[in-house]
Amino acid sequence: MTLTTHAVVGVAAARLFPQMPVTAFLAGFCSHFLIDAIPHWDYHLRSAKYDVSNPLNNDMIIGSDFVFDLSKILFDFIFAYWLSFWIFSGDSRGVIFVGASAGMLPDALQFAYFKIRREPLISLQRFHQWIHTGKKLREQWIFGIVSQIMLSAAIIFLSFAIK
């Protein structure tokens, strides 16, 4: 999933608990794993190194490809916050920030794992790998983007219907 999808869904979950910041954070954080279990498209990261025999050995290699990937990730990150604040403009800015941040945090922690490889990051990465769908839509980027928009819209609608 893109960071934008994780952020928007994270806010949709967090906004259900506006008076409980820890619960709001946990809702946004947990939403990341729940939607990662759904088959989805991810944009390609040229600096990613995959070990199909042991995904816990995956890494991101810092170099010129990483700089390109970082620009792509930063665009997604900034767009994620902008869209979250726009869609949920009637909600508390704190709840929006907490939900979006918590929804994206597991992917940032993956990068930390790639570089540090210590507990609790090892256990979190193992869980992230376990819950993450094995079905990738790499070659179906149009369907992947449209399906993430539709998933986000459905969860946003549900969030507004509940609250």
Yes or no: say if 10 and 86 are a contact pair by the CB < 8 Å rule: no
Phi and psi, residue 90, nearest 5°: -80, -5
Q: What is the CA radius of gyration of the chain?
A: 16
Tokens of 35: 């939607």
Region 95-102: mean pLDDT is 99
At residue 40 the predicted structure's pLDDT band, cuts being 50, 70 and 90, is confident
**Tokens representing residue 99 in the block:** 């939900």
The residue among 56, 61, 54 whose CA lies nearest residue 123 is: 56
59 pairs with which residues across the strands? Answer: 49
Residue 135 has pLDDT above 80, yes or no: no
Taking only the tens place, the pLDDT of each residue in 105-122 is 999 999 999 999 999 999
Q: What is the average pLDDT value for the chain, to the nearest integer?
A: 95
**Rounded Cα gap, residues 49 and 122, in angstroms:** 17
* Among 70, 69, 102, 72, CA closest to 84: 102
Which one is predicted more confidently, 156 or 163? 156
pLDDT surpassing 90 at residue 131: yes
**Arithmetic mean of pLDDT, 37-43:** 88
